[in-house]
Amino acid sequence: MKMKRITGDELEHLFERQLAEWPMVKNGFAALDSVKIKTVKVEDATFKVQFNPARIRSSAAKIDAASLKARRCFLCDENRPVEQQSLAWDDEYKVLVNPYPIFPKHFTVVCSRHTDQRIAGRMAHMMEMAEAFGDYEIFYNGPHCGASAPDHMHFQAGNKGFMPWLSDLSRVGEDILLRKGDAVMGVANIARAAVVIRAMSIESGAEMFHRLMEMLPVPAGDSEPMVNVLCSKSCREWTISVFPRKRHRPSCYDAEGDDNILISPASVDMGGVLAIPLEKDFYKIGVREIEQIFGEVCYSYDEIADIIENENKS
- Residue 153, Cβ density class (10 Å: 0-12 exposed, 13-18 middle, ≥19 buried): buried
Q: Quote the CA–CA distance of 21 and 14 in Å, as a whole number.
A: 10
CB of 155 to Zn ion, least distance (A): 14
x/- track of binding to Zn ion for residues 28-67 (CB under 5 A): ----------------------------------------
211 vs 42, 302, 311, 312, CA distance in Å?
31, 19, 10, 11
For Zn ion, the closer of residues 94 and 245 by Cβ is: 94
Least distance to Zn ion from the beta carbon of 78, Å? 9
Q: For the CB of residue 62, give the shortest distance to Zn ion in the complex, in Å.
A: 16
**Cα–Cα nearest to 118, from 151, 163, 70:** 151
We find the least distance from the C-beta atom of residue 154 to Zn ion, in angstroms, to be: 9
# chain residues binding Zn ion, by CB under 5 A: 5
Which of residues 151 and 168 has its CB atom nearest to Zn ion in the complex?
151
CB distance 17 to 85 below 8 Å: yes
CA–CA distance, 145 with 247 (Å, rounded to integer): 7
In the region spanning residues 167 to 196, those forming contacts with Zn ion, defined by CB under 5 A, are none
CB-CB neighbours of 76 under 10 Å: 16
Q: Closest separation between CB of residue 25 and Zn ion, Å?
A: 21
Question: What is the footprint of Zn ion within residues 143-162 (CB under 5 A)?
Answer: 152
What single-letter DSSP state applies at residue 312?
Answer: T
CA 241/CA 229 separation, integer angstroms: 6
Contacts of 33 (CB under 8 A, 6+ apart): none
Cβ-proximal residue to Zn ion, closest one: 73
- Between 40 and 73, CB nearer to Zn ion: 73
Within residues 65-94, the interface with Zn ion by CB under 5 A covers: 73, 75-76
Q: From the CB of 110, what's the least distance to Zn ion, in Å? A: 8
The answer to whether the beta carbons of residues 93 and 110 sit under 8 Å apart is yes
Interface characters, 103-142, with Zn ion (x: CB under 5 A): -----------x----------------------------
Interface with Zn ion (CB under 5 A): 73, 75-76, 114, 152
